[in-house]
Amino acid sequence: MAEIAALPRPGPAGPIDSPDALLAYERSLDCVHCGLCLPKCPTYLLTGREPSSPRGRIYLMRSWAEGRIAASERLSAELDFCLVCRACETVCPAGVRFGEMMEHARDEIGRARPDRAAGGFPRRFLLHFLLPSRSRMRRALALLRLYSFPPLRALLRPLLPKELRRREALLPRVPARLARLPELTPAQVGRRGRVAILRGCVTESLLPETTRATAAVLARNGWEVVAPEEPPCCGALHAHFGEIERAQALAKATIAAYEASGAETMVVDSAGCGSVMKEYGALLARDPAWKGRAVYFASRVRDVCEFLVERGFEPPARELRARVAYADACHLLHAQRVSSPPREVLRSIPGLTLVPLPETELCCGAAGIYTITNPETSRALLDRKVEILRKVRPDYLANGNPGCLLHYAAGLRGEGLPTNAVHPVELLAKAYEAPGR
């Protein structure tokens, strides 16, 4: 039998000339191969396969950067299978920066294999066509709203092929009227300063209640709120899916809009957007003209609950009797390490009971456009959540990320469960308004 000897590891075959590959390579060296991240990774939990674990993916990225494997179909499929939920970062004692590594590796491999792009046409349509333009987004959502009209949907749905019908079940329902937020909401009590909020590419139309609640809660606590019309999108999904150049362009537009707004803090009610904005410094690190501005901007970004707790907020005086389960959004818990502020906000509401929810650190499968790119896995993770919620049966499921809220809502709707998926600030806003509703 062949003997296995202890061998040094060959480094890269030659110089790594692409900055993306080099960055992924350097990050991959932080991993000591201890395996502690395995059981926290949703794709490993579902499959038990090492290549679908964080350690396995890092090994693949490292081996690819070293030239041991090519940018093959199998490699890009495995990278696309990752939810970039970053649960692996929260448990990694070596401080591996997995998200950053993955974004850059995807970008580089995407360029080497233009044919790959999991999610195909729907993904490109969304990332390249809809998200970068607010007017196109609005028109698309108007169409979707039309489709959400029950009689029409009942008529059209049976005509869809089976494959599409399953995806259709996860389509968000668009609320009846578009609530346009004014560009400026004045502070309700003694003005403490001005903050900017994000209209968001989808939140404003799909979850108008959330954006409105965010503005209302801030105003109620003495903040003047600006909501700039542009840019249409912060580039979070683009960065996430390794479309770095597009993400960079949107990041610059977001920074410029913030600078022009005269706000002291950028307050974000979308965990996914907040996490990318807090990392603009890294995203624009190679652009000397923007680096400094990006780093400063990133330091001014706060999740809305984080902001409320940090700067102090008025606990509601009136009761809101409800059982609420808080589900961590990956991009809040793992990417931003924000876990107690949303809970503090909820606990401040008299009459509200915060019920424990198992597996709250596990991804729900929404993960940006993962519902489009990997519908099966997305569904499997959602089913797992719904199963737990069926047992816990809270009145509200609170979560700080629009994508997750829509995903949970689809799952709850499908099962006919009485639970409503809401952002924590919506409950706070409700408590401020109570009674009378």
Partner 1 sequence: MTASPLVRDLLRMLEPDGVLCEPEDLLVYECDGLALFRATPEAVVLPRSTEQVAGVVRFCAARGVPIVARGAGTGLSGGATPAPGGIVLELARMNRILDVDAEDRTAHVETGLVNADLSAAVRSKGLFYAPDPSSQFASTIGGNVAENSGGPHGFKYGQTVRHVLGLTVVLNDGSVARIGGPNAENPGYDLVGVFVGSEGTFGIATEAWLRLTPIPPFVETLLFSFRSLLDGCRAVSEMVAAGVEAAALEMLDDRTIAAIEASVYAAGYPKEVGAVLLVELDGTREEVEAQAREARSIAKRCGALATSEAVEEAERARLWKGRKSAFGAMGRIAPDLYVQDAVVPRSRIAEVLAKIGAIADRHRLRLANVFHAGDGNLHPNLSYDARDADEVRRVLQAGEEMLRACVEAGGSLSGEHGIGLEKRDFMGLLFTEADLEAMGRVRRAFDPQGVFNPGKVLPLRACRERVPAPAEEPVAP
Ligand X SMILES: Cc1cc2nc3c(=O)[nH]c(=O)nc-3n(C[C@H](O)[C@H](O)[C@H](O)COP(=O)(O)OP(=O)(O)OC[C@H]3O[C@@H](n4cnc5c(N)ncnc54)[C@H](O)[C@@H]3O)c2cc1C
Given 16, 21, 31, 239, the residue binding ligand SF4 (CB under 6 A): 31
What letter represents residue 138's amino acid? R
Answer yes or no whether residue 401 interacts with ligand SF4 by CB under 6 A: no
State yes or no: residue 87 binds ligand SF4 (CB under 6 A). Answer: yes
| DSSP code, position 131 | T
The span from the CA of 405 to the CA of 328, in Å, is 11
Q: Is 21 in the site for partner 1 (CB under 8 A)?
A: no
CB of 8 to ligand X, least distance (A): 20
* Cα separation, 349 vs 346, whole angstroms: 6
Residue count, binding to ligand SF4 (CB under 6 A)? 25
Type of residue found at 15: P
Contact call for residue 68 and partner 1 (CB under 8 A) = yes
Among 88-96, 269-277, 347-355, 407-415, the segment contacting partner 1 (CB under 8 A): 88-96
Of residues 35, 182, 193, 351, which one binds ligand X by CB under 6 A?
35
Cα 339 to Cα 332: distance, rounded to the nearest angstrom: 7
Q: Are strands 420-422 and 193-197 parallel, antiparallel or unpaired?
A: unpaired
Q: Among 24, 27, 55, 398, which residue interacts with ligand SF4 (rule: CB under 6 A)?
A: 55
Could you say whether residue 11 binds partner 1 (CB under 8 A)?
Answer: yes
Residue whose structure tokens are 């009797």: 321
Question: Quick check: 368 binds ligand SF4 (CB under 6 A)?
Answer: no
101 binds partner 1 (CB under 8 A): no
CB of 217 to ligand SF4, least distance (A): 31
Q: Are the C-beta atoms of residues 424 and 398 closer than 8 Å to each other?
A: yes
Backbone torsion region of residue 86, taken as left when φ is above 0, otherwise alpha when ψ lies between -120 and 50, otherwise beta: left
Interface pick for partner 1 out of 14, 19, 24, 31 (rule CB under 8 A): 31
Question: Per CB under 6 A, does 240 bind ligand SF4?
Answer: no
How far apart are CB 393 and ligand SF4 at their closest, in Å? 28
Q: What CA–CA distance (Å, rounded) separates 272 from 402?
A: 8
- The number of CA neighbours under 13 Å toward the Cβ of 322 is 26
Residue 143 sits in the site that holds ligand X (CB under 6 A): no
73 and 89 Cβ atoms separated by less than 8 Å:
no
Q: Does 51 contact partner 1 by CB under 8 A? A: yes
Measured distance CA(139)–CA(153) in Å, rounded: 18
Cβ-contact 424, 346 below 8 angstroms: yes
Q: Segment contacting partner 1 (CB under 8 A): 58-66, 121-129, 219-227, 394-402?
A: 58-66
Binding of ligand SF4 by 98 (CB under 6 A): yes
Reference 223, options 260, 203, 204, 197; nearest CA is 197
Alpha helices in 113-235 (DSSP H): 120-124, 134-148, 150-156, 162-168, 203-206, 208-220
Smallest distance from ligand X to CB 50, Å? 10
Burial class (CB in 10 A: 0-12, 13-18, 19+), 140: middle
| CB of 50 or CB of 433, closer to partner 1 | 50
Instruction: Name the site residues for partner 1 (rule: CB under 8 A).
Output: 1-11, 29-39, 44, 47-51, 55-56, 59-60, 63, 68-69, 72, 74-75, 78, 90-96
Instruction: Name the site residues for ligand SF4 (rule: CB under 6 A).
Output: 31-37, 41-43, 54-55, 57-58, 82-88, 92, 94, 96, 98
Instruction: Name the site residues for ligand X (rule: CB under 6 A).
Output: 34-36
